[in-house]
Amino acid sequence: MGAMRRLNTIARDVRPDIIQGWMYHGNLAASLAHTLTSQSGKLFWGIRCSDMDLSDYSMQLRLIVKLGAWTSTGPDIVIANSQAGADVHRVMGYTPRRMEVIANGIDIERFRPDEITRQQIRLELGISPEQKVAMHVARVDPMKDHASLLTALSRVPDIVGVLIGAGTEQLDLPPSVKALGRRSDVARLLTAGDIIVSSSAFGEGFPNGLAEGMSCGLVPVVTDVGDSRLIVGDTGTIVPRSDPEALASALSSLLAWPETRWDEARQSARRRITEFFTLDTASSRFASIYGMAP
Residues 57 and 14 in one domain: yes
Average pLDDT over residues 268-294: 91
- Counting residues of the chain whose pLDDT is more than 90, the rounded percentage is 86
Could you read off the pLDDT of 185-232 as tens digits, one per residue?
999 999 999 999 999 999 999 999 999 999 999 999 999 999 999 999
> Residue 144 falls within a domain, yes or no?
yes
Residue 237 backbone phi and psi in degrees, to 5: -120, 135
Residues 159 and 251 in one domain: yes
Distance of alpha carbon 251 from alpha carbon 197, whole angstroms: 9
pLDDT of 55 reads 84
Greater pLDDT, 230 or 9 = 230
Q: Look at residue 147 and tell me whether its pLDDT is greater than 90.
A: yes
**Average pLDDT of the chain?**
94
**Residue partners of 86: CB distance under 8 A and separation at least 6:** 47, 78, 80, 99, 101
Residues 132 and 251 in one domain: yes
Residues 219 and 91 in one domain: no
CA-to-CA dists, residue 16 to 7, 32, 41, 43, 283, angstroms = 12, 14, 6, 10, 19
Distance of alpha carbon 75 from alpha carbon 22, whole angstroms: 12
> Residue 284 falls within a domain, yes or no?
no
Strand stretches in 1-158, DSSP E: 18-20, 42-47, 77-80, 99-101, 132-137
Residues 142 and 230 in one domain: yes
Q: Look at residue 5 and tell me whether its pLDDT is greater than 70.
A: yes
> Residue 17 falls within a domain, yes or no?
yes
Average pLDDT over residues 29-47: 87
Please tell me the pTM assigned to this model: 0.93
Domain range for 203 is 115-273
